[in-house]
Structure 1
Amino acid sequence: MIQQKIGVRIKELRISLGLSQEKFALKIGMDRTYFASVEAGKRNISINNLEKIINGL
């Protein structure tokens, strides 16, 4: 449940920046498929990867 809420919010913020999943993932040094699964709420994200995303936003 919390993964889905986090994923939805990350997606909203990424879209507000006008970035595709691919461009954002490249920006933060993360694999696009991993990032897509985080946005979809299908993956438990580590604190380190969450920090990468936050810093990218």
Structure 2
Amino acid sequence: MSRLSSKTDKDNKLVRLGAAIRAKRKEIGFSQEELALASGVERGNMGKIERGENNLSILNLIRIADALGSTSADILFEAKL
């Protein structure tokens, strides 16, 4: 089984996850930079995550969800994963 990356993501799972993160971020009024600072994820990586270009770790998903006042389960649900 090949590793999931933006190049092998045929079902757009990473894009959907990034879109869910972006929607939640905008809903609470955070900029990408504010979310990056609050979650401990580098600003450049945050943009790549939101565009579905980076396959984030579960730990970073939890950190991002916490910073958004949400849960990783809720974000995954919103992404329809």
TM normalised by structure 2 equals: 0.68
Matched, 1:23 2:11: no
State the identity %.
Answer: 35
Q: Distance in 1 between matches of 2:34 and 2:67?
A: 11
Higher helix share: 1
- Alpha-carbon shift at residue 46 of structure 1 (Å): 0.7
| 4+ residue segments displaced more than 6 Å | none
TM normalised by structure 1 equals: 0.94
Measured on the aligned residues, the alpha-carbon RMSD in Å equals: 0.7
With CA pairs under 8 Å and 6+ residues apart, which has the higher RCO, 1 or 2? 1
The alignment covers a number of residue pairs equal to: 57
Point out where structure 2 has 5 or more consecutive residues left out of the alignment. 1-11, 69-81
Q: Max radius of gyration: which structure?
A: 2
